[in-house]
Chains A and B, each alone.
Chain A
Amino acid sequence: MQLGEKAGLKPSKPMRDVFGDALLAVATENPKVVVLDGDLGNSTKAERVRQTFPERFFNIGIAESNLVGIGAGLAGAGFIPWITSFSSFLLCNAYDQIRLSIALGNVNAKILGSHGGITLGKDGPTQMGIEDLALMGGLPTMIILVPSDPASMHAAVKAATDHVGPVFLRSSRVPMPHIYPEDNCPFEIGKANVIREGTDLTIIACGLMVSSSLDAAADLAAAGIEARVVDLHTIRPLDEASIIAAAKETGAIVVAEEHLLQGGVGSNVARIGAANYPVPMRFVGLSDVYVESADPADLLRKYHLTSDDIAAAAREVINAK
């Protein structure tokens, strides 16, 4: 069973390719956009810009600290840098540079963390970004975006470029099926999208887990359970109103993320829920674990990140109401 198949979603090309298209689109539209690469442009697909605008593309090499610093300097010279690499290498190597040279001074730089989550698969845990959202969560000025399909990737790259200030955007190696019409994705930074209505519970998800949540909602509907599904494409600023509305109107929440639960999206959603309108909650994600090299589908099954896992959490949370 393909991701999104139960929900009737159309398959797409890999998200990294969509990112490459989206980056080229903003670079074409805005001559202030420059792209910095940590020698992974053929994997992140940032190299699409190198082919078209070589003068605005800089491979800084395998030196993430310097990559971030040079990007911040280009912002200081009035450009809009997209600093690109795998989220694991970029954030873990250059966290202090992101903190000082970008976040603290509210510098207008954009950070692409590619290969987020575990679905890069066979290259294994050394390359996986399972802590990126938690790390970026530790930087108070950093906008955090996690697109869930091709249209939202295009919209997110455009919104990030237009926003004045630091933005982190997470991309993935794998395809995510089409959720939104290709030319019409509602995308406002900080405003979550309700993509399925329901009254029995709300599933709040980001990235890959959004289509899994729609699959889960289709299964639940067959059993007479109507789930609201929220695409939480912005992790900061968090759409508190949407979370509180979900709690009040559906009385139970499941949060699903391809990320560690510790410090992840669920913990942020729970903080808002607990402070404003406590309802039973369940969390689908990785719990204090590093995963291994394997086919992405096998990993999602073994580490309980499938639509079946989301549906099981939904049944459990409804019983706790």
Chain B
Amino acid sequence: MLETEIKGGKVESLQSIARELRLDILEMTTKAASGHPSSSFSSVEIVTALFFGGILQYKEQNPWWPGRDRFIMSKGHAAPLLYAALARAGYFDREMLWTLRQIDSPVQGHPVQGLLPGVEATTGSLGQGLSLGIGHLLGGRLSGLDFRAYVLLGDGECEAGQVWEAAMAAAHFKIDKLIAILDYNKYQETGPISREMALEPLVDKWQAFGWVVREVDGHDIGAILDALYELQGVENRPSILIAHTIKGKGVSFVEEDFTYHGRPILGELAEKAREEIRCS
């Protein structure tokens, strides 16, 4: 079979996984009647590529295997997506998903380390994930393990100073096993990023901190995979994939409506959303 056909088939099946993850996110947050579906939707193709596109090396039956690649969901409010991906990867029973935000459940509103297999980090106060990734990789270097760390950043959290402290340190320590992926959906909680706290010129900023930067359409799984394969080959420098995305992607009436940040999709709208995702 020609390579393009293999890739075409792979991308198609990944798109189908992405659709299922979106449906899971919708069901989880609608049932919980709270959560951040729109922030989860924008990262779905990125996380699908990482978990199911052969990028992340993991053993779901041995979740804390020391040689595992680390996936750190720095934008902790996309927890529903993390849980849906982990359940689909086989880390835990999918039925757990429907206990999101319920009493006595380990499926917390934002990820808490140690409560569920595969949840590497406690996140939700923003800006903290990149530093954790650096720590894991300095440890890997000392242990002689060559795992990578993939850190999913939100765009709004790049307003936090710690992100840039970490950016400086990763370049200083020449941590080339660190690949950050920025879900650049252009909105933060209270409005468009350009209006609330402008981040641009973002490519220049990361480059100035010593990072290799690539940009990609964050909903094109094939393009995400190609970019990640390329960044895996970078030596002596950390790298970041700036993924241009649409907040709320997949549900027309949620897309780019920042008032949906932290708001579930309820009632008849949930059925409408379900239909749209199924038909996408």
Residues of A within 8 A of B (CB): 34, 55-56, 58, 60-61, 63, 65-66, 68-79, 81, 96-97, 99-101, 104-107
Contact B142 A66 (CB under 8 A): no
Q: How far is the CA of A96 from the CA of B165 in the complex (A)?
A: 15
Closest residue of chain B to A66 (Cβ to Cβ) is: B165
Contact of B134 (CB < 8 Å), options: A73, A78, A96? A73
Contact B142 A69 (CB under 8 A): no
Contact B134 A70 (CB under 8 A): yes
Mostly, the A contact residues are helix
Closest residue of chain A to B110 (Cβ to Cβ) is: A100
**Chain B positions 106 through 132: 1 when the CB is less than 8 Å from some CB of chain A, otherwise 0:** 000000111000001111110110111
Residues of chain B within 8 A of A68, CB atoms compared: 131
Whether, in the assembled complex, B135 has its beta carbon less than 8 Å from a beta carbon of chain A, the answer is: yes
Contact B114 A69 (CB under 8 A): no
Contact B121 A105 (CB under 8 A): yes
Contact B169 A34 (CB under 8 A): no
Knowing A76-B121, A104-B112, the reply to whether A97 touches B162 (Cβ < 8 A) is yes
A97 → B minimal CB distance (Å): 6
A254 → B minimal CB distance (Å): 39
Knowing A73-B134, A77-B135, A101-B128, the reply to whether A55 touches B169 (Cβ < 8 A) is no
Q: How far is the CA of A60 from the CA of B114 in the complex (A)?
A: 26
Contact B114 A63 (CB under 8 A): no
Contact A70 B169 (CB under 8 A): yes
Contact A56 B139 (CB under 8 A): no
Whether, in the assembled complex, B262 has its beta carbon less than 8 Å from a beta carbon of chain A, the answer is: no
Residues of chain B within 8 A of A66, CB atoms compared: 131, 134, 162, 165-166, 169
Contact B132 A96 (CB under 8 A): no
Closest residue of chain B to A31 (Cβ to Cβ) is: B142
Residues of chain B within 8 A of A56, CB atoms compared: 142
Contact of A74 (CB < 8 Å), options: B70, B125, B139? B139
Q: How far is the CA of A100 from the CA of B138 in the complex (A)?
A: 20
Contact A69 B128 (CB under 8 A): yes
Closest residue of chain B to A76 (Cβ to Cβ) is: B136
List 9 A-B pairs, minimum CB-CB distance, nearest first: A73-B135, A69-B131, A77-B139, A105-B113, A66-B165, A63-B165, A65-B162, A70-B135, A73-B132
B243 → A minimal CB distance (Å): 23
Contact A78 B122 (CB under 8 A): no
Contact A69 B166 (CB under 8 A): yes
Contact B135 A74 (CB under 8 A): yes
Whether, in the assembled complex, B143 has its beta carbon less than 8 Å from a beta carbon of chain A, the answer is: yes
Could you list 26 examples of A-B contacts with CB < 8 Å? A34-B138, A34-B139, A58-B173, A66-B166, A69-B128, A69-B135, A71-B135, A72-B131, A72-B135, A73-B135, A74-B139, A76-B132, A76-B139, A77-B66, A77-B136, A77-B137, A77-B143, A79-B139, A81-B135, A96-B128, A97-B162, A100-B122, A100-B124, A101-B131, A101-B132, A105-B122
Q: How far is the CA of A97 from the CA of B132 in the complex (A)?
A: 10
B64 → A minimal CB distance (Å): 9
Residues of chain A within 8 A of B127, CB atoms compared: 65
Whether, in the assembled complex, B133 has its beta carbon less than 8 Å from a beta carbon of chain A, the answer is: yes
Residues of chain B within 8 A of A61, CB atoms compared: 165, 168-169
Residues of chain B within 8 A of A77, CB atoms compared: 66, 135-140, 142-143
Contact A75 B114 (CB under 8 A): no
Contact A65 B131 (CB under 8 A): yes
Q: How far is the CA of A105 from the CA of B123 in the complex (A)?
A: 10
Contact A73 B122 (CB under 8 A): no
Contact A73 B138 (CB under 8 A): yes
Contact B169 A60 (CB under 8 A): yes
Whether, in the assembled complex, B9 has its beta carbon less than 8 Å from a beta carbon of chain A, the answer is: no
**Chain B positions 56 through 71: 1 when the CB is less than 8 Å from some CB of chain A, otherwise 0:** 0000000000100010
Contact of B136 (CB < 8 Å), options: A55, A63, A74, A105? A74
Contact A65 B165 (CB under 8 A): yes
Contact A76 B125 (CB under 8 A): no
Q: How far is the CA of A81 from the CA of B66 in the complex (A)?
A: 17
Q: How far is the CA of A66 from the CA of B162 in the complex (A)?
A: 6
Find the residue from A56, A68, A73 having the highest chain B CB count within 10 A: A73
Contact B120 A70 (CB under 8 A): no
Contact A69 B162 (CB under 8 A): yes
Find the residue from B132, B168, B173 having the highest chain A CB count within 10 A: B132
Contact B162 A74 (CB under 8 A): no
Residues of chain A within 8 A of B90, CB atoms compared: none
**Chain B positions 199 through 233: 1 when the CB is less than 8 Å from some CB of chain A, otherwise 0:** 00000000000000000000000000000000000
Contact B125 A96 (CB under 8 A): yes
Residues of chain A within 8 A of B8, CB atoms compared: none
Q: How far is the CA of A81 from the CA of B131 in the complex (A)?
A: 14
Closest residue of chain B to A64 (Cβ to Cβ) is: B165
B109 → A minimal CB distance (Å): 13
Residues of chain A within 8 A of B121, CB atoms compared: 72, 76, 101, 105
Closest residue of chain B to A73 (Cβ to Cβ) is: B135
Residues of chain A within 8 A of B66, CB atoms compared: 77-78
Q: How far is the CA of A72 from the CA of B130 in the complex (A)?
A: 11
B242 → A minimal CB distance (Å): 21
